[in-house]
C-alpha cells in the first residue's frame, strides 16, 4: 500500500500537476480531502486516462463536480475503488481559491 499527500490551493498550477500518477496497474482505495482552512472549499476531481484519447483535462474527465467541504472538515471517498492503468492520473482542483485542501490518496498495486 502507498500513500501520497498533496496540498492543493487556488494556484493556477493545480491542474498541471497530478496528485497521483499510476506507475503500474493500481487500485485507489481511498481519497481523503481535508480542508485545513476556516472557510468552505469547493473541490473538483478529474481522472485522466493514459489511453491517448486526450492529453489535457476537460469537463469530460471530471468525476467530482463542485464538491463542498465545510471549513476544517474532511471528506472521504472510499465506497467505490478506482482501478487505474499505468500512466492514468488524478487531478484535484480548488477552483474558488479560498480553501486549502490536503489530499491523501491511498493505493495498492495489483
Cα 20 to the chain's mean position, in Å?
A: 7
Per-residue pLDDT tens digits for 30-58: 999 999 999 999 999 999 998 877 778 88
User: What is the Cα–Cα distance from 10 to 24, expressed in whole angstroms?
Assistant: 30
Q: How far is CA 44 from CA 48, 59, 69, 91, 110, in A?
A: 13, 10, 11, 8, 27
Q: What count of other Cβ atoms lies within 10 Å of the Cβ of residue 97?
A: 14
Residue 99 has pLDDT above 90, yes or no: no
pLDDT > 80? residue 13: no
Higher pLDDT, 87 or 51: 87
Amino acid at each position: 500500500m502507498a500513500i501520497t499527500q498533496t496540498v492543493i490551493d487556488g494556484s493556477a498550477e493545480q491542474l498541471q500537476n497530478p496528485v497521483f500518477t499510476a506507475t503500474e496497474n493500481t487500485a485507489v482505495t481511498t481519497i481523503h480531502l481535508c480542508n485545513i482552512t476556516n472557510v468552505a472549499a469547493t473541490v473538483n476531481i478529474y481522472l485522466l486516462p493514459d489511453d491517448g484519447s486526450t492529453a489535457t483535462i476537460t469537463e469530460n474527465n471530471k468525476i467530482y463536480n463542485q464538491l463542498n467541504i465545510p471549513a476544517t472538515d474532511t471528506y472521504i471517498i472510499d465506497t467505490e475503488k478506482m482501478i487505474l492503468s499505468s500512466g492514468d492520473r488524478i487531478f484535484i482542483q480548488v477552483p474558488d481559491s479560498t480553501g486549502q485542501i490536503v489530499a491523501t490518496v491511498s493505493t495498492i498495486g495489483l
